[in-house]
Structure 1
Amino acid sequence: MKKKICFLMIFVLMMSLLSACGVNNSSQTTKSSASTPQKVVVTDAIGRKVEVPIPAKKIVSVNESATRLISYLDGLDKVVGIETLSKFSDAYKPYLLAHPELKNLPQVGKGNSLNMEEIIKLKPDVIFYVHYGDMDPDKLQTQTHIPVVALKYGEKCAFSEDVYKSLQIVGRIIGKEKRAQEVVDYLKRCEQDLNNRTKNISEDKKPKVYVCGIGFYGVHGIESTQGKYRPLNLINAKNVADETGKTGSIIIDKEKLLSWDPDIIFIDEFGLSLVKDDYKKNSQFYQSIKAFKKGQVYTQLPYVCYDINIENAIADAYWAGKVIFPERFKDINPEQKADDIYKFFLGKPLYKDMKKSLSGFKKLDLGS
Structure 2
Amino acid sequence: MKIKKIIFALALCLIIFTGCQNNPKNNDKANDAKKVSETSEEITIIDAVGREVKLPKVAERVVLENPLPARLYSYINGTDKVVGVSPREERADIRPYALANPEFATIKACGGGNNIENYEDVLLQKPDVFFASNKEDAAAYDKIEEQVGCPVIALDGGRDTMFDEKTYESLYNIGKAVGKEDRAKEVVDYMESIKEDLHNRTKDIPQDEIKTAYAGGLAYKGSHGIEGTRGNYQLFDAVNVKNVVDTDKDGLVEVDKEKLIEWDPEYIFIDLASISLIQEEYNKNPEYFEHLNAFKNNKVYAQLPFIWCQINYDTAIADTYFVGKTCYPEAFSDVDVIDKTNEIYEFLVGKGVYDELAAETFGGFQQITLNDFRDNKFMKVQK
Question: Do both share a fold (TM > 0.5)?
Answer: yes
SS of 1:70's partner is helix
CA distance in 2, matches of 1:112, 1:198: 40
- State the TM-score, normalizing by the size of structure 1: 0.90
Q: CA deviation at 1:312?
A: 0.8
**Other-structure match for 2:381:** none
CA shift at 1:52, angstroms? 1.4
C-alpha contact (below 8 Å) 2:90/2:106 kept by paired residues? no
Distance 2:88 2:72 in 1: 16
How far does the alpha carbon of each residue in 1:238-271 deviate from its partner, in whole angstroms, 9 at most, with x for none?
Answer: 1112x11222221223232121222211111211
Partner of 1:247: 250
Contact kept, 8 Å, 1:37 with 1:56, in 2: the verdict is: no
Identify the residue that residue 95 of structure 1 maps to in structure 2.
Answer: 97
**Any idea what the Cα deviations from partners look like across 1:11-34, whole Å, max 9, x if unmatched?**
967994899399867863662462
Residue range with higher mean Cα deviation, 131-140 or 257-266 = 131-140
Identify which of 120, 127, 152 aligns with 1:124: 127
Shift of 1:89: 5.4
Q: Which residue pairs with 2:222 in the alignment?
A: 218
**2:195/2:238 contact within 8 Å kept:** yes
Query: Cα–Cα, structure 1 residues 132 and 239, in superposed 2: closer, same or farther, change >3 Å?
Result: farther
Write the distance in 2 (CA, Å) between the matches of 1:336 and 1:234.
20
Q: 229-238 vs 196-205, which deviates more?
A: 196-205
Q: Judge conservation of contact 1:54–1:172 (CA < 8 Å) in 2.
A: no
Structure 1 counterpart of 2:269, one-letter code: F
Query: Does 1:105 find its partner at 2:91?
Result: no
**Shift in Å at residue 231 of structure 1?**
1.2
Q: How big is each residue's C-alpha offset from its partner over 1:77-102, in whole Å with a ceiling of 9 and x where there is no partner?
A: 11111112078752x20000101110
Q: Distance in 2 between matches of 1:177 and 1:279?
A: 50
State the one-letter code of the partner of 2:234. Answer: R
Aligned position for 1:31: 32
Q: C-alpha distance in 1, partners of 2:194/2:115?
A: 36
Deviations 1:267-299 (A, max 9, x none): 112112211122111211111111122221111
1:56 equivalent among 52, 56, 59 = 59
Q: SS at 2:257's partner residue?
A: coil
- 1:192-239 deviation line (CA, Å, top 9, x unaligned): 111111122233322321112222122222121112211111001011
Distance 2:91 2:26 in 1: 54
- Which runs of structure 2 are paired with 1:121-270 in the superposition (5 Å)? 121-133=124-136, 136-241=140-245, 243-270=246-273
CA distance 1:233–1:117, change in 2 (3 Å): same
- 2:297 equivalent to 1:294: yes
Match in the other structure for 2:310: 307
Q: Which runs of 5+ in 2 are unaligned?
A: 376-383
Q: Which moved more, 1:182-191 or 1:37-46?
A: 37-46
Q: Structure 1 unaligned segments of length 5 or more: list them.
A: none
Cα distance in 2 between the residues matched to 1:45 and 1:344: 25
Secondary structure of 2:236's counterpart equals helix
CA gap 1:187/1:287 in 2 versus in 1, 3 angstroms: same
Contact 1:131 1:152 in 2 (8 A): yes
Query: Does the Cα contact within 8 Å between 1:53 and 1:173 map onto a contact in 2?
Result: no
Greater Cα shift, 327-336 or 134-143: 134-143
Corresponding residue for residue 352 of structure 2: 349
Q: Is 1:20 the counterpart of 2:20 in the alignment?
A: yes
Shift of 1:149: 0.4
Match of 1:367 among 362, 371, 374: 374
SS in 1 for 2:59: coil
In structure 2, relative to structure 1, the CA distance for the partners of 1:367 and 1:112 (3 Å cut) is closer
Cα distance in 2 for partners of 1:53, 1:213 equals 47
The verdict on how the C-alpha distance between 1:132 and 1:226 changes in structure 2, with shifts beyond 3 A counting, is farther
Q: Quick one: which amino acid aligns to residue 231 of structure 1?
A: L
Q: 1:33 to 1:118 in 2, by over 3 A?
A: farther
Q: For 2:175, give the aligned amino acid.
A: G
Structure-2 change in CA distance of 1:113 and 1:101 (3 Å): closer
Give the match for residue 335 of structure 1: 338
Tell whether the 8 Å contact from 1:72 to 1:183 is kept in structure 2 after alignment: yes
What is the alpha-carbon distance in structure 2 between the residues aligned to residue 281 and residue 156 of structure 1? 35
Asked if 1 retains the 8 angstrom alpha-carbon contact of 2:68 and 2:133, the reply is yes
**Partner SS for 1:267:** strand
The percentage of aligned residue pairs carrying the same residue is: 38
1:85 is paired with a residue whose SS is: helix
Look up the SS of the partner of 1:328 in the other structure: coil
Query: Once the 2 structures are TM-superposed, how far is the Cα of residue 363 of structure 1 from its aligned partner?
Result: 0.3
Report the Cα distance in structure 1 between the residues aligned to 2:219 and 2:67, rounded to whole angstroms.
15
Separation in structure 2 between the aligned mates of residue 155 and residue 102 of structure 1, nearest angstrom? 26
**Among candidates 281, 286, 308, match of residue 284 of structure 2:** 281
Deviates more, 1:46-55 or 1:95-104: 46-55
How high is the TM-score relative to the length of structure 2?
Answer: 0.86
CA contact (8 A) 2:61 2:128 kept: yes
Deviates more, 1:12-21 or 1:327-336: 12-21
